[in-house]
Amino acid sequence: MTSTSFGARYRAALDTRGPLCVGIDPHSSLLLDWGLDDDVAGLERFAMTVVEAVAGEVAVVKPQSAFYERFGSRGIAVLEKVISESRAAGTLVLLDVKRGDIGSTSQAYADAYLDPSSPLFSDAITVSPYLGFGSVTPMIETALRNEAGVFVLALTSNKEAPEVQHAVDADGRTVAGGVLARLRELNAGADPLGSIGAVIGATIGDTGEDFDFNGPILAPGVGAQGGTVDDVRRIFGSAARNVTPSSSRQLLLQGPDASRLRDAVRRTNDEFRALAV
């Protein structure tokens, strides 16, 4: 077990390896594009080729749990291997599970992903606060206790998001703004960076929200979805150096050749290193 907070490890990883987060998302269509069968053998070949290509190259990898869960226990076994081998290579694993529930169920999710005794233990996970922010408190508390991190959905780029996230409360603050305010409180005083982050799309446009909450930011949507370095700099301003822009499909299409995939990841990572300037 590491003796430093997730926020400190995240800051060091971005400063050392660059900001890019690579999604390890074995869509059935990608397996077929790689000439693989859409089965557990294809899943493992795909996932471990990506790990071989990028673990140790980038700061963060983000496996999307659903693409492994669809194969049942054998798929979860592959996910466990992705997590363990990526972490062994020194790359932070952000497990994309977007869990959100209440009470003992929320705590069970925390135990599954944020307890070091679990085979699914990851450096951080994504969570949804839209059952009320208190619903994710067990996951946040467990993460902090175990020096892991949590990325809370704040402003996502899916077209349905504004009906919830942009809604305004009685004080004139948006729902997303309320989430960001909670993160600011949780990360207050942390140095060099807090461990509770936000998920904010790289294609959301101008929102007027303040993204300087002293925490990590996952920005999905670069690459195939159109997000660029300039978009990230424009959206996040002074907080851009805390952003890990996430790209999946555009990079993964460079497989199954691991060298070609690695080269694409390095080029993309180099493009986004300008965010730290």
To the nearest 10 degrees (0 to 180), the angle between helices 258-272 and 229-236 is 40
The sign of the dihedral angle between the CA atoms of 11, 15, 26, 233 is positive
Of the candidates 138, 158, 157, the one whose C-alpha atom is nearest the C-alpha of residue 148 is 138
- Residue 262 has what DSSP assignment? H
Distance from chain centroid for Cα 52: 19
SS3 92: strand
Q: What does the block give as tokens for 273?
A: 């290193």
Is 159 a residue of the active site? no
Provide φ and ψ at 205, rounded to 5°: 80, -170
Q: What does the block give as tokens for 68?
A: 């492994």
Q: Using alpha carbons only, give the angle 51, 110, 17 rounded to the nearest 5 degrees.
A: 35
β partners of residue 277: none
C-alpha distances (whole Å) from 276 to each of 15, 28, 120, 229 are 8, 35, 31, 11
Let me know: does 275 contact 237? Beta carbons within 8 Å: no
Of the candidates 58, 52, 67, the one whose C-alpha atom is nearest the C-alpha of residue 18 is 58
Residue in the structure block whose two tokens are 């054998």: 74
Let me know: does 146 contact 117? Beta carbons within 8 Å: no
Active site residues: 98
